[in-house]
Amino acid sequence: MRRRQFISSIGKCAFAAGTLTAVSSLPAAGATYPPLKYEARWYEKLPNKKVRCQLCPRKCLIDNLETGYCGVRTNREGIYYTLVYGNPVSFHNDPIEKKPLFHFLPGSKAFSLATVGCNVNCKFCQNWEISQVGPDQVQAYDAPPSSVVDYAKQAGSSSIAYTYTEPVVFAEYVYDIAAAGQKRGLKSVMISNGYINPEPMAELGKVLDAVKVDLKAFTQKFYTDLVAGELKPVLDTLQLLVKLKMWTEIVYLVIPGHNDDPGEIKEMAQWIKRDLNPLTPLHFSRFYPQYLLKNVPPTPISTLEKCYDICRAEGLKYVYIGNVPRHQAEKTHCHHCGKIIIDRSGYLVEKVDIKSGKCVFCGTVIPGVWS
């Protein structure tokens, strides 16, 4: 049974709209999507009304009247359309630490939104009700880019975050919102699986201020068995982000028995140090049973701490432990003097000792986006 047939069979219509008490003029939710009117940006026209999607490494070959793997792009008479442009299913004003981005405007709020759809199928997805369904299975808002910027300004947000599902599949919408936000002083951050082709990523890089990449594991076997994706394109994306000088943080969800092998963690740390930057923040996040992986227990905190120790020993300077509130490894220490420069507990930032991008204690430049 295909994943969307499975979702449909359980009879669940997912509508994951968050509460925004600071915004009084959110649009009303409608039952269906509007007629096709937004042509996709990254695709190739082929003979016989076929198209080749060029957005992600799948490069879906799509016949007339068919839809790509992500479920949100469709071919009509040789023209490729996005079905989710301007139609998010979820809004929320989140702490930036929830993304998590720890070196990006600490203590600020990110106006967060998502459409349906994803270009992979993680068996441990925590938002599967909206990531693994199609546009015809949900209710959605009518929210053009300019309106999203209005809502973000009303909510007092410092940035807009494209999150919850996979923003790669609504990349045109991301680009236009981010461009509109730039003109009004709002930054944009993409919370992504990194499964995207170089050209669209480079174009998005023109309007984004940060990207958080979920590195699911450091083996292709894991990506094959639990993600239905590929590792190498994600590593290529991370390297591209370095070339683009894009602020980047990495999250690694540690799943017991699947991607917690110490040797693999060490190999990943060595790769980050060599091919990215030893100052790249790396977050080890605690797994909880989700979606199709409910038979695996939560990650032992000791396992997270072992991963932390391995990466620190390999020379990574900013390693964090997430989903363990009040753990000491969620605080930011200066990589030179070792003093706490961002004191945080969960999503609460209690103190920031960074001034003009430098540690107030020793004057060392701290990597990140601070203003």
The model's pLDDT over 88-133, given as tens digits with 9 standing for 90+, comes to 999 999 999 999 999 999 999 999 999 999 999 999 999 999 999 9
348 and 205 in one domain?
Answer: no
Tokens of residue 132, six digits: 């693994």
343 and 237 in one domain?
Answer: no
181 and 295 in one domain?
Answer: yes
352 and 327 in one domain?
Answer: no
Rg (CA), the chain: 20
234 and 167 in one domain?
Answer: yes
The answer to whether residue 34 sits within a structural domain is no
The answer to whether residue 248 sits within a structural domain is yes
- Give the chain's domain count: 2
175 and 145 in one domain?
Answer: yes
The answer to whether residue 117 sits within a structural domain is yes
The answer to whether residue 142 sits within a structural domain is yes
Q: State residue 33's pLDDT score.
A: 45
Domain coverage including residue 346 = 335-371
98 and 212 in one domain?
Answer: yes
The answer to whether residue 297 sits within a structural domain is yes
357 and 269 in one domain?
Answer: no
Distance CA 343, CA 330 (A): 8
The answer to whether residue 45 sits within a structural domain is no
Q: State residue 28's pLDDT score.
A: 56
CATH code for the domain of 148: 3.20.20.70
Distance CA 274, CA 276 (A): 6
Q: State residue 59's pLDDT score.
A: 98
Distance CA 337, CA 318 (A): 13
The answer to whether residue 173 sits within a structural domain is yes
Tokens of residue 357, six digits: 């991008």
Closest CA to 124 of 295, 349, 338, 334: 295
Which residue numbers in the chain have pLDDT < 70? 1-35
220 and 205 in one domain?
Answer: yes
110 and 183 in one domain?
Answer: yes
User: What predicted TM-score, i.e. pTM, was given to this entire model?
Assistant: 0.92
327 and 178 in one domain?
Answer: yes
209-253 confidence digits (pLDDT tens): 999 999 999 999 999 999 999 999 999 999 999 999 999 999 999
Distance CA 349, CA 326 (A): 11
197 and 117 in one domain?
Answer: yes
The answer to whether residue 73 sits within a structural domain is no
Strand order in the sheet with 348-352: 332-333, 340-345, 348-352
